[in-house]
A and B are shown apart, each in its own frame.
Chain A
Amino acid sequence: MNTSDVLIIGAGVVGCAAAYYLRKNGVSVTVLESDMIGNGGSSRNGGGVRISGRDPRELGICAYGVKNIWPTLSEELGIDVEYRQKGYLVCGYDDSHKRLIKDRINTAAKFGIKMELKEEEEIRSLYPYVSEHVTCAGWTPSDGVANPLKTTLGYYIRARENGARFITGEKVLCIEKIKGRARKVITESGNVYEAESIILACGYGGRKILNSVGIEVLMQKKLEEVIVTEPAPRLFDHMIGGMSGFYGQQTEHGSFVLGSSCGRETYLFNKSNTVSTYSAPSFICDSIGVDIPALKKLKVIRTWSGWIDRSYDAVPIIGNIEEVPGLFVSIASSGHGFGPGPAVGFILSELAQGRPSPVDISKLHYDRFDYVKYQDRYFVSDVGGSFS
């Protein structure tokens, strides 16, 4: 029988985490995934687990994860997800960057998050591997990194082991209501699944599915690329980013994982496949050569790309949809949904069980968009590695 208490669409970090937490409470779960487990953004990101630089509306969720989930996640899953809370350094090159960093510090302070401005002298002594090109920097000690592959597949492995049913290769086409409630899901293969509640966590793919119940959301799809180097002796533990746009980490394995876009993706590439190009990778290598010259001689061994499902204001859409009772969504994570992913999965699992969210998510409502008001933010969000 294709019936369960909860049906989850999408097996990314959010869907897998939600399945895990639901099973912990004994709720029966089916997860439908069109591709493989975690083949979306969840296995393609830079692994940044950040609170700094986030929009005030989503800060609560990010902070909830960093406080309540990440520190004990490896222990909980019995799988090392390589979480390290060793700070985030964002490199700036001029006064406009210094102003942006100061703005972020003020926002962070309002939420009790410590972030500091580092001036040249301090940068030279604390972060000697950063070049003289970097004249100011923001430092957030509570930020960190993790291994996205281990995290996503880790949640999957334990959720499956605890009885969650995962079906891959099953692409959801639409949701059908029964007596006004979201109850049925129909897939491309013609299969029908039924549940009391439905969790939609499938990135850009969720847009069409929402359309099937009369809901439209303002979002677009954007290519982002990543490079990984051969392993090297440890240079630093913290996450790093530059106002030129790159971000990344030296992983536990020793390799450097560095991501960025080059700014032209939206115009250059076809929208059906993730493709690897020379554009963003060469841009990343060039920026790194300028900011962290010690890495110049390291060899790039692999590059890949992924989709960023971005909302109109670059802030995620999370929560219920009044017009469709029984449906709970997390979409448009806007390039920074890995860090909050475990918390979002937990929150959705609570909502699907009829319980309230442990943090305020009311401002992440799908129907919040006001074209005029958010026009400025839309462009600002491209600056300074907000995608990480």
Chain B
Amino acid sequence: MSKIIDRSADIGEFVPEKDDDILVCRCEEITKGEIRKAVHMGLYTMTEVKRFLRPTMGLCQGQICGENVRRIIAKELKEPIEALKETTARPPVRPIEMEVFGNEVEKL
């Protein structure tokens, strides 16, 4: 069962920070400020932020920035990082050429 979250609950105003310009997701070039703002737009889960803004959606699939994105969102929600669910890790583990992946069809 998922945790019940009232999306109208007050999480306070967005307060600009000095390092908002810092790049968090290098693959998709998403800054800390953009992620923090998305939380204030009502995106209270890591998956929603990912789907709206694309952090962790690039070539590395969040293997580099995933934890940082999670920490930034949790902090904005004033919650411990463990309270925030990670996004689903999805196959393939490493990028794979379509031509190669297509060979698997023989095993169907």
**Inter-chain contacts of B44 with A (CB < 8 A):** 168
* One of A118-126, A128-136, A299-307 at the interface: A299-307
What's the minimum C-beta distance from A362 to chain B, rounded to whole angstroms?
35
CB 8 Å contact bits of B80-108 with A (1 = contact, 0 = none)? 00000000101110011111011111011
Q: Does B1 contact A (CB under 8 A)?
A: yes
**Inter-chain contacts of A165 with B (CB < 8 A):** 6-8
Q: Does A18 contact B (CB under 8 A)?
A: no
Our pick among B7, B41, B91 for the contact of A276 (Cβ within 8 Å) is B91
**Cβ–Cβ contact A253 & B48, under 8 A:** no
**Cβ–Cβ contact B2 & A285, under 8 A:** no
Q: Does A43 contact B (CB under 8 A)?
A: yes
Q: Closest residue of chain B to A35, judged by CB?
A: B2
Supposing A165-B6, A230-B95, A289-B99 touch, asked if A39 and B105 sit within 8 A by C-beta, the answer is no
Supposing A38-B51, A300-B95 touch, asked if A169 and B105 sit within 8 A by C-beta, the answer is no
**Inter-chain contacts of A295 with B (CB < 8 A):** 98
**Cβ–Cβ contact A160 & B8, under 8 A:** yes
* One of A83-91, A149-157, A366-374 at the interface: A149-157
Q: Does B59 contact A (CB under 8 A)?
A: yes
Q: Does A282 contact B (CB under 8 A)?
A: yes
Supposing A153-B48, A160-B42, A299-B98 touch, asked if A282 and B104 sit within 8 A by C-beta, the answer is yes
Q: Does A143 contact B (CB under 8 A)?
A: no
Q: Does B47 contact A (CB under 8 A)?
A: yes
What's the minimum C-beta distance from A221 to chain B, rounded to whole angstroms?
19
**Cβ–Cβ contact B51 & A298, under 8 A:** no
Q: Does B18 contact A (CB under 8 A)?
A: no
Supposing A160-B42, A161-B42 touch, asked if A297 and B4 sit within 8 A by C-beta, the answer is no
Q: Does B78 contact A (CB under 8 A)?
A: no
Q: Closest residue of chain B to A36, judged by CB?
A: B45
Q: Closest residue of chain B to A160, judged by CB?
A: B42
**Cβ–Cβ contact A34 & B91, under 8 A:** no
**Cβ–Cβ contact A296 & B97, under 8 A:** yes
CB 8 Å contact bits of A13-38 with B (1 = contact, 0 = none)? 00000000000000000000011111
What's the minimum C-beta distance from A148 to chain B, rounded to whole angstroms?
9
Q: Closest residue of chain B to A293, judged by CB?
A: B99
**Cβ–Cβ contact A37 & B90, under 8 A:** no
CB 8 Å contact bits of A253-286 with B (1 = contact, 0 = none)? 1000000001010000000000010110111011
What's the minimum C-beta distance from A246 to chain B, rounded to whole angstroms?
12
What's the minimum C-beta distance from B45 to chain A, rounded to whole angstroms?
5
Interface size range of chain B in the complex: 35 or more
Our pick among B43, B45, B52, B90 for the contact of A302 (Cβ within 8 Å) is B90
What's the minimum C-beta distance from A156 to chain B, rounded to whole angstroms?
7
Q: Does B26 contact A (CB under 8 A)?
A: no
**Inter-chain contacts of A157 with B (CB < 8 A):** 41-43, 52
Q: Closest residue of chain B to A43, judged by CB?
A: B51
Q: Does B15 contact A (CB under 8 A)?
A: no
Supposing A253-B54, A300-B95 touch, asked if A285 and B105 sit within 8 A by C-beta, the answer is yes
**Cβ–Cβ contact A300 & B101, under 8 A:** yes
**Inter-chain contacts of B2 with A (CB < 8 A):** 34-36, 168-169
**Inter-chain contacts of B6 with A (CB < 8 A):** 165-167
**Inter-chain contacts of B51 with A (CB < 8 A):** 38, 43, 149, 153
**Inter-chain contacts of A149 with B (CB < 8 A):** 51-52
**Cβ–Cβ contact A169 & B59, under 8 A:** no
Q: Does A188 contact B (CB under 8 A)?
A: yes
Q: Does A229 contact B (CB under 8 A)?
A: yes
Q: Does A96 contact B (CB under 8 A)?
A: no
State A165–B92 Cα separation when bound (angstroms).
Answer: 37
**Cβ–Cβ contact B7 & A300, under 8 A:** no
**Cβ–Cβ contact A276 & B90, under 8 A:** yes
**Inter-chain contacts of A276 with B (CB < 8 A):** 90-91
**Cβ–Cβ contact B7 & A167, under 8 A:** yes
15 pairs from A and B in contact (CB 8 Å cutoff): A37-B45, A161-B41, A168-B4, A168-B44, A230-B95, A278-B91, A278-B101, A282-B104, A285-B104, A289-B102, A297-B97, A298-B98, A300-B92, A300-B97, A303-B92
Residue ranges of A at the interface with B (Cβ–Cβ < 8 Å): 34-39, 43, 149-150, 153, 156-157, 160-161, 165-171, 188-189, 227, 229-230, 253, 262, 264, 276, 278-279, 281-283, 285-286, 288-289, 295-304
6 nearest A-B pairs in the assembled complex, by CB-CB distance:
A282-B104, A285-B102, A299-B95, A169-B2, A286-B102, A166-B7
- Add 10 more A-B contacts to A153-B43, A282-B105 (CB < 8 A): A34-B2, A157-B52, A166-B42, A169-B4, A227-B101, A282-B104, A301-B61, A301-B95, A302-B61, A302-B91
